[in-house]
Amino acid sequence: MQKIAPCLWFDGNAEEAARFYTSVFSNSRIATTMHYTDAGPGPEGQVLAITFELEGQEFMALNGGPQYTFSPAISMFVHCASQQEIDTYWTKLSEGGGKPWQCGWIQDKFGVSWQIVPDVLGEMVRDPDTAKASRVMRAMMKMVKLDIALLEQAYRSG
């Protein structure tokens, strides 16, 4: 068990969200489910919280109620090794009403923000040649879903 795990606050659909996320990432599983008891505050038997793992990272989804909603101030950063991986996560996280944003960000149907980013992007923007890094940043700023080929083209041009 991890020492620290994010807890995501949902309004009655924590189990649905956990099942959705474990369908998106192949190395995933539902670990435990806790239910409300007769002590409340929710209806006895309803899911209180569900613990799940995505690619080895533990999360908890809590049915906390409508008091709080998600904000892009907290996002899930997904390291991607290939364009195929980017495309797969982008498609799956878009299902059911996900909203794509600039620079590889997408908000899923539950309101959770994700950054779907190729690892090579970090390498290019950390290049000591600031002209290369700047070209890559300019190219990225024009994209919604990140395209490795276009980022590499910007990196090599000059």
State pLDDT tens for residues 9-25. 999 999 999 999 999 99
**One domain, residues 108 and 35:** no
| Of 68, 91, 116, the domain-final residue | 68
pTM: 0.93
**One domain, residues 7 and 21:** yes
What's the confidence (pLDDT) of residue 2? 84
Domain extent, residue 64, equals: 1-68
What's the confidence (pLDDT) of residue 41? 86
**One domain, residues 82 and 155:** yes
3-state secondary structure the chain: CCCCCCEEEECCCHHHHHHHHHHHCCCEEEEEEEECCCCCCCCCCCEEEEEEEECCEEEEEEECCCCCCCCCCCEEEEEECCHHHHHHHHHHHHCCCCEECHHHEEECCCCCEEEEEEHHHHHHHCCCCHHHHHHHHHHHHCCCCCCHHHHHHHHHCC
User: Which residues of the chain carry a pLDDT beneath 70?
Assistant: 1
**One domain, residues 87 and 144:** yes
Domain count, the chain: 2
**One domain, residues 44 and 99:** no
